[in-house]
Amino acid sequence: MLLKMLKKDFARKKSITIVLFLFIWLSAVLVSAGSNMIVELSNSLTHLFTQSKAPHFVQMHAGDIDQSAIDTWSSTNKLVKEQQTVEMINIDGSNLFLGSKGESEKNSVMDISVVTQNKSFDLLLNLESKVIQVSEGEIAVPIYYKQQNDMKIGDQVKISAPPFEKVFTVVDFVRDVQMNPSIIHSKRFVIHPSDYDFVKQNYGELEYLIEFQLHDFSTLNEFSQAYQASQLPKKGPAIDLTLFKTLNALTDGAVAAVIIFVSILLNIIAILCIRFTLLATIEEDYREIGVLKAIGISSRYIKKIYLTKYVVLAAIAAVAGYVTSLFLNQFFTANILLYIGSAPKGIVDYAISIAAVAVIFFMVIFFCRLVLRRFNKISTVEALRSGSIGDAKMHRFSPSLNKSKLLAVPVFLGIKDVLQRFKMFRLLLVVFLVSSFMIVVPINFLNTIQSPTFTSYMGIGQSDIRIDLRQSDDMIARYANMLEVIQNDEDVTRFSPLVTSQFKLINSEGVEENISVETGDFSIFPLDYVKGNAPTKENEIALSYANSSGLKKDIGDELRFIVDGQEKKMVVSGIYQDVTNGGKTAKALLPFNKDNVLWYVVSLDLKSPQLMQQKMAEYEKAFYPAKVTDLKGYIDQTLGTTIEQIRLITVVATLIAVLVSILITSLFIKMVIAKDNAQIAIMRSIGFGLKEVRVKYVTMSLSVLIIGILLGTVISNTVGPMLVSTLMSSFGASQIEFIVDPVKAYLLSPLILILVVTITTLLSILSIKKSSVASLIAE
């Protein structure tokens, strides 16, 4: 009996059933794909870190080292399981040529090094997550360049610094547990030991990674404090396993979170549609429900009849969604598979995606049950007497036609109908609001992260050109020469020299630890501060959001530093955002520590933007081997992968929003027309043409759409930045402000929705017959 009823109901409401199926199916697809991404990311990271034997603690150091002192200290520290020192030859980008294009990496912001394969741990893996082994004349290239430069096996890599030149053949790509993501400005190329010795004798400066594996990772904090208190080399940042995992997971983790969020939005829309459909069905069947109650059938059984349809519909859609996601998972996890690799999956891993889909299913059923509780309030006598629960309640506001002189009659009637039956139109309003939100937020965030002003979230003031000078033997002399040249350059309007060096910070436990502090004049290219302002006195310091959180310090709190051998109290003047290299930075007016300088930076503005390329080429030659980049190039290279992922999300979200608008508008208008059949017949009988009737329904759709777009835009600009900031807080940016492109956000996206909704409404009302009161009575 139930099966026959289901078949009849489907035949009677094909379009509605199909639309509801599509929403639940799409929601199931996305939640399954998003949860699978998280599982894949977690498993792949674990597999990568296991296969590569990731170090627990790494101290980067530029300068000479005493390995025997390191060995002695390590052997006496009971926390250390194993220690190795990785030697790297730094290669300037202008001396590195990738592929057959013949162009150097002179504009690259990456710190490029060549290394040999490590022996104990921190193993460099290939695309099959196996330990890379190369022969003489061969090279393994970081995955970053495979994606950025479209490199392939068999391409050539040339290191050229006349008269020295060496050509390698690409035989593999490197998965580097430390330096995979583009947000990390260091990349390691793997070559054969004999080639390494040849390059070392002829070119490059050395840098070291002093690496440790511990017996117990939980002792990392204790070990870190012990190392910082020692006399071992530490001219460079210290990083640990937790930061490696965070930086490797950020981009894809954020994408997975967004996909799941979109899935939940779609499921909410599906639930609202089901609620609307159920209420409409109950109204249509009101008299039949009264008859069933009158002959003794319980409300519980009647509810079961109506619920069965949605149980079957949700079950089939959820299963179909899960099966579909299995075919789409490779598309969603492509970036994970490239950068991190795949890992074996067990039954539990598949069960997580199934459980996520099950949640979608049970959400639908739960809200169906809530709606069906209305059966308990249906009176048998009232149902048989009236045969209807009555139309939606009319709004008190009811404008008069005779008072409207500006609007055409069909337009006026459409607006009046929306106002009077606003409760019924809430579903359409919510859908348009969500659709607007799904389009505007990704567009605004994409525009924000691509804008040169996004450097403010990277701890960098906005300028035309940035020049980076890294550690070298004659760095101080070259830096002084650079400043002299720039100061005498008439094409430069202003410039700001900044020096990053290491200072000793006495933490809350009384232990000294290293902290990287940038010193200089921060008023020339100012940052936007989350709290407070830039340091203006020698006893003030500004902390990045990540450092502020880690040190648990806020505006006005004190920090204890060792400056020139003396303890100095510093007051936190401001907190800024920084999404680069883990975001742990600080800014102060202290005299920089010459013995522990990490790098020098000069930011400058030019008189004319047309001089940009000319000046960059001039500075590259004059300040070789300094890195000279424009800010847009800096952002593209640092956040290129993230930008591509957000661009993909923007396209997908826009397509989903448009599809949702089409389906819901079609469903809603058809149901309203069926409900308004008598009203349409009366309008036709008193002289309204089909054109006027259709104008009325288009007006109804567009008036609800315009309200939805306005509300969606307001929410996008208030709630949107809060959601993005929540996602970006793990990057080091906790307070994102959208940089809006008004043409895309406030003109093109509304026009797309208006065009789609208008066409959909016109197609949906083609079914209006040339009806009249007579034909209605005849029926």
Q: Map tokens 């599509």 to a residue.
A: 22
**Residue 776: what pLDDT?**
45
What lies within 8 Å, CB to CB, of 294 at 6+ separation is 380, 384
* pLDDT higher than 70, residue 742: yes
Per-residue pLDDT of 173-217, as tens digits, reads 999 988 888 778 889 999 999 999 998 888 767 889 999 999 998
Q: Which of 276, 265, 267, 266 is nearest to 669 (CA)?
A: 276
Give the model's pLDDT for residue 778: 47
**727 closest CA partner among 45, 242, 253:** 253
Taking 70 as the threshold, does the pLDDT of residue 559 lie above it? yes
Whether 765 is covered by a domain: the verdict is yes
Q: pLDDT, tens digit, for every residue of 603-628?
A: 999 988 888 888 888 888 888 778 88
Q: Are 267 and 210 in the same domain?
A: no
CB neighbourhood size of 323 (10 A): 14
Span 432-447, mean pLDDT?
87
**Cis peptide leading into residue 233 (ω within 30°):** no
Residue 580 dihedral angles phi and psi, to the nearest 5°? -100, 140
In a domain, 724, yes or no: yes
Whether 466 maps to a domain, the answer reads: no
Residue-averaged pLDDT of the chain: 81
How many structural domains does the chain have?
Answer: 4
pLDDT > 50? residue 391: no
- Asked if residue 426 belongs to a domain, the reply is yes
Instruction: Express each pLDDT in 55-90 by its tens digit.
Output: 999 988 877 888 999 999 999 999 999 999 999 998
Q: What CA–CA distances, in Å, run from 437 to 75, 265, 441, 565, 729?
A: 58, 10, 6, 55, 21
Whether residues 446 and 479 share a domain: the answer is no
Residues 512 and 231: their CA atoms lie apart, in Å, by: 12
DSSP 578: B
Alpha-carbon distance of 158 to 167, in angstroms, equals 4
- Co-location of 33 and 92 in the same domain: no
| 330/337 Cα distance (integer angstroms) | 8
Same domain, 579 and 480: yes
Mean pLDDT within 434-441: 87
Q: What confidence tens digit (pLDDT) does each residue in 678-724 have?
A: 777 777 777 777 778 888 888 888 888 888 888 988 888 888 888 77
Q: Do 116 and 26 reside in the same domain of the chain?
A: no
* 575-580-586-588 Cα dihedral, nearest 10 degrees: -100
Q: Based on the fold, state whether residues 665 and 779 are members of the same structural domain.
A: yes
Max CA distance (Å), the chain: 104
Write down the pLDDT at residue 202: 82
High-pLDDT (> 70) share of the chain, %: 88
Could you tell me which of 66, 67, 65, 83 has the C-alpha nearest to residue 75?
83
For residue 485, pLDDT over 70 is answered with yes
Residue 222 lies in a domain: no
Are 765 and 732 part of one and the same domain? yes
Same domain, 483 and 533: yes
Final residue before a domain boundary, out of 624, 645, 671: 624
Domain identity same for 604 and 640: no
* pLDDT score recorded for residue 493: 92
Tell me the mean pLDDT in the region 529-534: 87
Domain's final residue, options 597, 624, 651: 624
Is 406 found in the same domain as 384? no
Query: Is 397 a domain residue?
Result: no
Gap between the Cα atoms of 143 and 184, Å rounded: 13
Q: What letter represents residue 482's amino acid?
A: M
> Length of the chain in residues, anyone?
779
Sign of the dihedral through C-alpha 144, 149, 150, 152: negative
Write down the pTM of the prediction: 0.75
Boundaries of domain holding 34 = 1-57+241-389
At residue 695, the pLDDT reads 84
Residue 230 to residue 212: CA distance in whole angstroms:
15
Which distant-in-sequence residues (6+ apart) come within 8 Å of 682 by Cβ? 773
One domain for residues 618 and 691: no
Please, are residues 213 and 81 in contact by the beta-carbon 8 Å criterion? yes
CA–CA gap between residue 352 and residue 358 (Å, rounded): 10
Task: Give residue-wise pLDDT tens across range 210-239.
Answer: 999 999 988 988 898 888 888 888 777 788
